[in-house]
Structures are given as C-alpha cells and as structure tokens.
Copies of this chain bind each other. A is one copy, B any other.
Amino acid sequence: MPTISDVAKLSGLSKATVSRVINNHSYVSKEKKDLVLKTMKEIGYTPNPSARKLRGQVTTTIGVIVPRIVNPFFAYLVDSIEQAAYSKGYQVLICQSHEDRDKEIAFLNLLKNRQVDGIIMTSIENEWQAIESYIEYGPIVLCNEYIENSKVPMIHLNQYKGAYIGIKHLIEKGHKRIAYCTGGLFAEQGKDKDRNQGFQTALKESGIEVEPELIFVNKHTVEDGKQVMKNILKMDDRPTAVFTGSDEIAGGIMMEAIECGLRIPDDIAVMGFDDQPLAELLNPKLTTIKQPVEQMGKKSIEIIIDLLKNPEFKVQTYELPIQLVVRKST
C-alpha cells in the first residue's frame, strides 16, 4: 500500500505539501497540486484512516447503535441514515447492541477513542446518566428515543399520539374490549410509557376500563405474537381487537388466528405499528401506525453534522409526524 511518503518522493515534493493537497488546504500552487493529484492517481494512493484517526483528525465516521439489524424497522432506519451520511461525505459504522448494556458502552467508547466523530443512538440500554457522560467526547443524537431533560438533540415521534390514534381507530370501529401488546412492562416509566399513556387516555375518553388481563408485556417477535394469540384463544370472553407494538407481533397474531380458523377482522381485528413492508404483504393487509423512518434518518444525520461543525449548535427536539394507515385488518 502506497503512503503519503511515496507520493511525496515520486512527485519530488514534501509530505507536507502532499498532505495539504489531500486536505484541500490553501497555499499550494496549482502546478504542484496537479502534480500531486496525478501521482496519487498513478500509484493508487488512499490515505490510511487509522493514521488519520490517530493523528486526531475528524474521522468522517458516524456510529449508529441499533438493537438488532434483523429487525426491519432498524434495518430501514440504518439504511436511511447511511444514505444521508454518504451524501454528505460521511461513513457509517453500524453497531448492534443486541440489547446488551456492555456492548452499548463499548460502542460509546468509540467516541472516546476517536473512532467516530459522533454517535446516533436508536435505542438505549444503560442508565441515561451513564450515557450522557460521553457527550464530552463528541455529539450524541437520539433517534427514535426520547429522554426527559436530556442535553442531546432528539429526533423522535410522538409515540403517545401513535398509540392514541390507533386505539381511537379501533374504538370508532366499535371495539370495546381491546387487547394491548407492549414491548416494555406497562409501567409509568421506561420503555413504551408514552404509548401506554396514549392507550389509556384513548380508553378513558370513551369510558372504557383498562382490563389487566388484556395487557401483554415484553412482546417483540412473531413468536411472541403467536403466543399472545394462543392466550387470547383460551379466554372465555375474548377481546375483539388487538393493538400491538410492531407489525411483526401483529403478523404472529394473525398467523395464529388464521390457523385457528378465526377471520380477520370479523372475529378479531389486528393492528400493527411501524408500517414495514410486511404490513402490506399480510393477508388481510395490516392496519398500522406509520413511522417516517426515512425522514428520521435524514434528520438525524443533518443534526449531528450541524453539531459537529458548530458545537454551539442549539440542542433541541424534533418531532416528526406519525400517522394511521388503515388497511384491511381492522
């Protein structure tokens, strides 16, 4: 692999001059600049990123932490982030936390180590305080997460509203007994608390009581959805609709329901969350809450780059629109 010294030697100039050309610094004569450029091309020179990072330059790399890439929601989010980054000359380092606290910390250390210029977090595993302590090493942007009183920019959706309009839709369709699946624990604090509140408010406004046996917590996967449906089938007094936390859970629920001869939405209505490509592939097509993944990715990159270029950049919160997509499952 040719180095900057090779380029210097071959063009009869100093490393310093070559470096200036590489980094588009001023005070290089057009003549020498062209010579350097030509030589670089000739021997196929590429700057060594490790050396650059070590020297303490900008890395033009942004880390993106996601729980798992096999979750299509995050795959699309990462993809949109990467494309936005690429168009601005940045690389993206994809980091899967696999919901592991230690891995998350290890990725945050990339900031300390100057492996990345900034980090976009799409999920949070550790205490916020621990995470926030890393902002002294570089910008952190929250994408699709929301933390009260944090000092970092957040690009997020109004999850409260998402659940609210979803449940409202079910109520309008005449449902009164609505099962509810959350990824968290239906607690006041923690994951999905905003959605939980949207759910409760919507019910309350229609004078419907929350029935604890219709709340399913810690559900994430297709398999979870199947289990939920199995439980519902055992009930004497079944709910007439199910609101879920993701299209995948909804898919599992539908699969199991159809397997057992139930008709959707006549026997039971099912509602997803995310609006993944899957939603349109299900039969009947899934009514769901659309999250504007592409916009979130683009905005996150925009913000983090602004922050990089101007550390005084005003930290604020961006809320993107979330909307109901009515299809055939409700």
| Chain B neighbourhood of A200, CB < 8 A | none
Instruction: Name the B residues within 8 Å of A90 (CB-CB).
Output: none
Smallest CB separation, A196 vs chain B (Å)? 26
**CB-based nearest B residue for A250:** B281
A93 contacts which chain B residues (CB < 8 A)? 93
A97-114 CB contact bits vs B (8 Å, 1 = yes)? 000000000000100111
Which B residues are CB-close (under 8 A) to A70?
72, 75-76, 79
Which residues of chain B are near A281, meaning CB under 8 Å?
222, 251-252, 254-255, 278, 281-282
Q: Given the complex of chains A and B, what is the CA–CA distance between A251 and B280 in angstroms?
A: 9
Which residues of A (104-155) have their CB < 8 Å from a CB of B?
Answer: 109, 112-115, 137
B79 with A96: CB separation less than 8 A: yes
| List of B residues within 8 angstroms of A137 by Cβ | 1
Q: Of B49, B251, B283, B285, which contacts A115 at CB under 8 A?
A: B49
Q: Are A112 and B46 touching (Cβ within 8 A)?
A: yes
Q: Are B1 and A113 closer than 8 Å at their CB atoms?
A: yes
Q: Tell me which of A9-17, A25-33, A50-58, A313-321 binds B.
A: A50-58
The answer to whether A113 touches B79 (Cβ under 8 A) is no
- For this complex, into which size category does the number of interface residues on chain A fall? 35 or more
Whether the pair B50, A114 counts as a contact (CB closer than 8 A) is yes
Residue ID in chain B nearest A264 by CB atoms: B283
Give the shortest distance, in Å, between A277 (CB) and chain B (any CB): 6
Which residues of chain B have C-beta atoms less than 8 A from A285's C-beta? Answer: 255
A277: chain B residues within 8 A (beta carbon) = 222, 248
Q: Which A245-275 residues have a C-beta within 8 angstroms of B?
A: 248, 251-252, 254-255, 258
Residue A168 at the chain B interface, CB threshold 8 Å: no
Please tell me if A68 contacts chain B, counting CB pairs below 8 Å.
Answer: yes
A116 to B314, CA, bound (A): 37
One of B48, B50, B76, B222 near A280 (C-beta < 8 A): B222
Give chain B residues whose Cβ lies under 8 Å from the Cβ of A114.
1, 48, 50
- Chain A 18-50 interface mask (CB, 8 Å, partner B; 1/0): 000000000000000000000000000010111
Beta-carbon contact of B258 and A50 below 8 Å:
no
**Docked pose: A48 CA to B56 CA in angstroms:** 12
Q: Given contacts A69-B79, A72-B72, A79-B69, is CB(A113)–CB(B48) below 8 Å?
A: yes
CB distance from A285 to the nearest CB of B (A): 8
Picked from B78, B109, B251, B282, the residue with its CB within 8 Å of the CB of A69 is B78
| A82 close to chain B: CB less than 8 A | yes
> A48 — which chain B residues lie within 8 A by C-beta?
54, 113-114
Contact B54 A51 (CB under 8 A): yes
Interface check A94, CB cutoff 8 A: yes
What are 16 of the A-B contact pairs (CB < 8 Å)? A1-B114, A46-B109, A46-B113, A48-B54, A49-B50, A50-B50, A50-B54, A70-B75, A72-B75, A79-B96, A254-B281, A255-B280, A255-B281, A278-B278, A281-B282, A283-B283
Q: Which 9 A-B pairs have the closest CB atoms?
A: A50-B53, A283-B283, A50-B54, A251-B281, A94-B94, A50-B50, A70-B75, A1-B112, A70-B79
